[in-house]
Amino acid sequence: MHLSEKITKSSLAHLKNCTSITISSNIDAIEDSIFSQCSSLRSISVDPDNSQFASIDGILFTKNLETLLCFPANHHLSNYTIPTSVKSIGNYAFSFCSHLQSITIPTNVTSIGDSPFTFCSSLRSIQVDPNNLHYVTIDGILFTKNLETLLCFPAKLSLSNYTIPT
């Protein structure tokens, strides 16, 4: 499906079963978490002349590659390392990803949006580069660096008992 108008939730109602989406050059705004419930989506491509967005391997980013906006729910990758250019992970960026089993967050990520890994039914592990100043993982579980906030407990993490750090 080729999108050439402003992308809103109402304009996507008929796209829930699309496997690929192409964003044209004149799209300059995409509503937050717009593709989060497109469960069949495998890839998002962006016209190279688009001034706001880019796509790498079917994954949607801002043009400067500093914000990861959407990892399609039915993407072919099961293990993913976020590019080092990324500083921010958008709200619901990985939500409903059925194949994603592990993710690695690089050093430069300073911001993680709301519920980026919600309904990732196969997610087993999240890793964070040890040099990241904002986030850390313990036993595959994502926390803020100061361990004050638990951000994500992967759905398929194989722990029979877990005690949240004090």
pLDDT band for 4, please (50, 70, 90 cuts).
very low
This prediction's pTM: 0.89
Give the pLDDT confidence of 13-27 residue by residue, as tens digits.
566 678 999 999 999
57: left (phi over 0), alpha (psi -120 to 50) or beta: left
What contacts 8, CB < 8 A, 6 or more positions away?
A: 31, 34
Give the pLDDT confidence of 95-136 residue by residue, as tens digits.
999 899 999 999 999 999 999 999 999 999 999 999 999 999
